[in-house]
Structure 1
Amino acid sequence: MGNQKIKQFVIENQIKEISFLAEKIEKIAEEWDLSPTLAMNLNLVIEEAVSNIIFYAFPDKAKHEIKISVSIDKQILTIIITDDGIPFNPLKHEQPDINLPAEERPVGGLGIFLMSQIMDEMEYNRKKNENILTLKKSI
């Protein structure tokens, strides 16, 4: 367990928090000596997942917290994103047909496809009225 590293932070369900998140991920990447490509990909994945939550999870428009945990243990990088929004399993949504020309593709949905290309494992759980999205990548 000695080499496990973990960072946790909480943001509000405001789209402006995305840039704050990007800064956090860049700092983590520097501290943990992750490659710039990996850092960029992690940012893409987290931005996609969190913006989905911000846009879709909270129909009441009230303030909610989104918790993000990033950890690394034995070359496995794990991202866990938790929110108390309505049940939403992003992994159940159809993968886009990337062979369609852009103008014929449905809006959205590309994010989950991108996430699945970047990460090795994606898992969704619903526990205690919370959505828990766990993303793993071997590095």
Structure 2
Amino acid sequence: MNYHFKAPCSKKKLRSIREFISSNLKKHALADVEINMIVLAVDEVCANLIIHSHNCDPEETLELSMLIEDNKRVIFKIIDRGEGFNPLNHKEPSLEEIIQTKKKGGLGLILVKKIMDHIEFKSDSKKNVCILQKNIGI
């Protein structure tokens, strides 16, 4: 099953993105805990793109597709045309660093990498594509 969602790059649209993911995952009888973890991971990537790559500019858009393959895995493709950011190249701070520097944030990408089973990033002069895959129903 394939689902698509397109939204302006506004923080106000993050709720709609979360609802889109959650409502479509519920159609496939996933446990609420699993749904919440997946929503958290995809929301984090979308929020980072909206805030950091697009400076919350509602004139720019974010495209999200969600493919559920045989109730065994869900694959998200997040497409944008902002400044490319490869989450795989991001060095996560340690928890000690975050506590010592009293830094707000920094845990989101750590969670994304822990929750998702596979992360891929592709970029060219026209668009960036972040692919997130989670094995489900196993």
Match of 2:133 in 1: 136
Taking structure 1 as the reference length, the TM-score comes to 0.87
Alignment of 1:49 with 2:45, yes or no, is yes
Contact 1:29-1:35 within 8 A present in 2 as well: no
Q: What is the percent sequence identity of the aligned residues?
A: 24
Cα pair 1:96 1:106 within 8 Å, conserved: no
Partner of 1:118: 115
Question: Take 1:87 and 1:126, find their aligned partners in 2: how far apart are those partners?
Answer: 7
1:44 partner letter: L
Tell me which amino acid in the other structure corresponds to 1:137: K
Stretches of structure 1 that go unaligned for 5 or more consecutive residues are none
Aligned residues: 135
Deviations 1:8-51 (A, max 9, x none): 11011000101111211221122121110111011101110011
Q: Secondary structure at 2:77's aligned position in 1?
A: strand
Alpha-carbon spacing, 1:31–1:114, altered in 2? closer, same or farther (3 Å): same
Q: Are the aligned partners of 1:91 and 1:112 in contact in 2 as well (CA < 8 Å)?
A: no
Contact 2:3 2:66 in 1 (8 A): yes
